């Protein structure tokens, strides 16, 4: 027996009154929705190869954001900094090649943390909101023995940052006494918000062993 069309709802039913198909209007609506979904999907997949992405201006930790972050880490403007006459946690950096930062070791332990970036410093481009230190250029040391060097980051005290695990370290050694290689020491650390503070500590077997250095960084727009 042929299935009649309900005169009000517009649905097909069989002889026992069971619904056989959605109404024509529902089907059209489904097709239009699917078409819109396909358009939305295409707009996003086009970004893989044929459309611009927001990158660091977009959603934090999205794929395009992370790709742009990585790209900027390797291909970006670089800045090197020396010290103000008396670095503080407000102002520490200066564009100089005559006044290095000086960190002093403890006796086979960490020495005092010295500020290398203050809350009012602008370490990269104006408008950059994130920064990471990437290199330390050591220009002089007191001893030809291994040094550990630690960079600390935070928006409170250096002690709080150390306790929270907000630090990264590396090692270096001078081959013939006072440092003369001129090769920057590469460091790795997370990006931090501009306005946070950075400190450095050094460790040597000899108490009071000085390390004179400059440091380099780059910034990020997002």
pLDDT tens sequence for the chain (222 residues) = 555 444 444 555 555 555 545 555 565 566 656 666 667 665 666 555 555 656 566 666 666 665 666 665 556 677 899 999 899 999 999 999 999 999 999 999 999 999 999 999 999 888 888 888 989 999 888 998 899 999 999 999 999 999 999 999 999 887 655 555 567 888 888 889 999 999 999 999 999 999 999 999 988 877
* Fold adopted by 78-220: Jelly Rolls (2.60.120)
Q: Measured between alpha carbons, how far is 96 from 65 in angstroms, rounded to an integer?
A: 34
Domain segments of the chain: what residues? 1-51, 78-220
Strands 106-107 and 197-204, by their bridges, are parallel
Question: Would you say the C-alpha torsion 34, 35, 40, 46 has a positive or negative sign?
Answer: positive
Q: Is the pTM of this model over 0.85?
A: no
- Alpha helices (runs of H) in the chain, residue ranges in sequence order: 24-45, 63-74, 158-163
Q: Measured between alpha carbons, how far is 173 from 159 in angstroms, rounded to an integer?
A: 26
Task: Dump the DSSP string for 165-207.
Answer: T-EEEEEE--SSSS----PPEE-----EEBTBEEEEEEEESST
- For 57, counting Cβ atoms within 10 Å of its Cβ (0-12 exposed, 13-18 middle, 19+ buried), the class is exposed
């Amino acid at each position: 027996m042929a299935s009649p069309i309900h005169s009000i709802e517009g649905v097909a039913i069989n002889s026992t009154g069971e619904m056989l198909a959605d109404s024509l209007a529902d089907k059209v609506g489904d097709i239009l929705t699917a078409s819109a979904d396909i358009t939305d999907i295409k707009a996003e997949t086009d970004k893989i190869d044929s459309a611009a992405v927001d990158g660091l201006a977009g959603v934090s930790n999205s794929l395009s954001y992370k790709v742009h972050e990585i790209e900027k880490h390797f291909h970006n403007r670089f800045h090197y900094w020396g010290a103000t006459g008396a670095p503080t946690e407000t102002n520490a950096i200066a564009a100089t090649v005559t006044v290095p930062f000086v960190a002093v070791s403890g006796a086979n332990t960490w020495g005092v943390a010295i500020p290398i970036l203050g809350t009012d410093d602008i370490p990269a481009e104006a408008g950059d909101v994130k920064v990471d230190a990437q290199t330390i250029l050591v220009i002089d040391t007191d001893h030809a023995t291994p040094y550990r060097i630690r960079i600390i980051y935070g928006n409170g005290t250096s002690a709080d940052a150390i306790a929270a695990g907000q630090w990264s370290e590396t090692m270096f050694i001078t081959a013939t006494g006072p440092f003369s290689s001129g090769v920057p020491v590469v460091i790795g650390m997370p990006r931090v918000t501009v306005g946070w503070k950075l400190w450095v500590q050094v460790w040597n077997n000899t108490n009071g062993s000085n390390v004179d250095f400059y440091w380099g960084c780059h910034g990020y727009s997002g």
